[in-house]
Amino acid sequence: MDVLKCKLTRRFFIHYFAFHLEVCDPPSVQNGYLTDTDKTLYKYGDKVTIICNPGYVAFNSDATCMSDRTWSPVPSCTYVSCQLPSITNGYYTKNAIRVTTTQSYGDVINPVCVDVGFTPSPSTPRTCQANGQWSGQEPTCAPQITCTSLPEITNGQYDDGGTGQPLYYYNHAITPICNNGYYIDGPTETRRCIANNTWSGNDVDCLRIICSPPNPTINGQYNESQQTYDYGSVLALSCDIGYYVSNNAGTNRKCEAKDTWSGYDPVCQRITCSPPNPIIHGQYDRSQAIYDFESIITPICKKGFKMLNNVIERVCEGINKWSGDEPQCTLVTCNKPASFGNGWLTPNQQQYDYNTTIELSCHDGYEVKDGTPRRTCFEDGSWGDLPLQCIKIICNDTSYVKHQSINEYPRISFGEVGNVTYNYSFFHLKDGSTEVNCSANRAFLWKTTPDFGW
């Protein structure tokens, strides 16, 4: 019994000391300290509180002594920093020096606006706090200087960029603009709201735009002539006959600004023509490098050629522009002579080129009229004035009969029969006949040979 009691007593003391033994040393805290600085040992389950030095923050401010003689969680102090905040149209300073990087716990910065005439709102300093955030509100740069609207411009207005506000902030720019047809008398300058709540520059006046007459043009004139012209007036230039606007200036000019016409001064230059294209198988009656306006030239075809499209003359009527069509010279031809009988042509064809020679041959008893059997194709496309004809031969041979017995032979052609008139005052027909035929060799052939007696 005493042995059992002894064992139970021993177990109790072991269990007691297991839970009440001082097992943890004080924790070591960098950049901080414990609130309880009197104890040197801590029992299982004891707690401590950590306080960090300025600029540091305790992420685990309370720790507990564990049975394995460690502290949980491990107490520590972490360095505190604040990201530099932004400010539109401004920046921050520390000790009057602009800062651009992350700041430490406790650092104080001041907002500053970039533009003159603007002030931060709120303007209070901001401090980097233990939680890594900045004290105070985010400031904005608000205008401090304002200007009221300028007086209205007669026949104009100010362009304020579309704000349409009765008040304008510092450095706000406005530009005077005149209505259409008016101009600013004096320099056109942008006006700004400046530090003393006034506008820079001077008030302007908008005057009506007028133009003096444009410079005169030699060999040309405008459709109107006045001392002055209103804005928007349009003048039309016309060059004299035989001249044209040579510098691409255009013929219409508009009054667009004070004494300012659109375009530039036109130049009226004499119209000339370069030589026309050469004529194949022909030429013009004269040849020169340049022809004046209204010069007349005549196309001429070479010998043996004729004008196909009936171009008589050409006139220089525009810049390098000749009137009419391009002349065309074609070879002269002659048609086959009019049809005829009692003969044939050599060569025999429907059409003949210029200078071709043909020959007419007649049948027996026929001869070529006027005695010229050859014809040549002339330049005018004709065979000449004499027609080609085969006419019957007329008999005129009277050598067969004594002339004193014949008063007159008949005028008959080849193949015809006629009667001879004899001198019946001295002769009488004793035998035969007075009839004769006309032969192919121009001789008379008696039907029966007559016998005339005294």
Please report which confidence band the pLDDT of residue 6 belongs to, taking 50, 70 and 90 as the band edges: very low
208: CB partners within 8 A, 6+ apart: 155, 181, 182, 230, 231
Predicted confidence at residue 108, as pLDDT, reads 95
Judged by DSSP in three states, 120 sits in strand
Q: Using the 3D structure, point to which of 315, 331, 347 is the last residue of a domain.
A: 331
CATH number at residue 34: 2.10.70.10
Domain-located, residue 12? no
Q: Which residue has the tokens 């429907």?
A: 350
For 388-432, the pLDDT digits (tens) are 888 889 887 666 555 567 778 888 888 889 888 877 777 777 777
Domain-located, residue 109? yes
Domain-located, residue 197? yes
Domain-located, residue 3? no
186: left (phi over 0), alpha (psi -120 to 50) or beta: left
Predicted confidence at residue 303, as pLDDT, reads 92
Q: Using the 3D structure, point to which of 356, 371, 392 is the last residue of a domain.
A: 392
On whether both 96 and 137 belong to a single domain, the answer is yes
Look up the domain containing 219 and give its range: 210-270
Q: Using the 3D structure, point to which of 253, 270, 287 is the last residue of a domain.
A: 270
Give me 444's structure tokens. 């008379």
The answer to whether residue 371 scores a pLDDT higher than 60 is yes
Cα–Cα distances (Å) from 89 to 69, 101, 120, 189, 233, in that order, read 57, 18, 10, 26, 50
The answer to whether residue 152 scores a pLDDT higher than 90 is no
Domain-located, residue 398? no
Residues comprising the chain, all counted: 454
Number of domains comprising the chain: 7
Beta bridge partners of 103: 82
Domain-located, residue 6? no
Residue 235: Cβ within 10 Å count = 21
Domain-located, residue 14? no
- Tell me the DSSP string of 23-77: EEPPPP-TTEEES--S-S-EETT-EEEEEEPTTEEESS-EEEE-TTS-EESPP-E
Give me 36's structure tokens. 């309880």
Query: What is the rounded average pLDDT of the residues 298-316?
Result: 94
- In eight-state DSSP terms, residue 68 is T
On whether both 220 and 252 belong to a single domain, the answer is yes
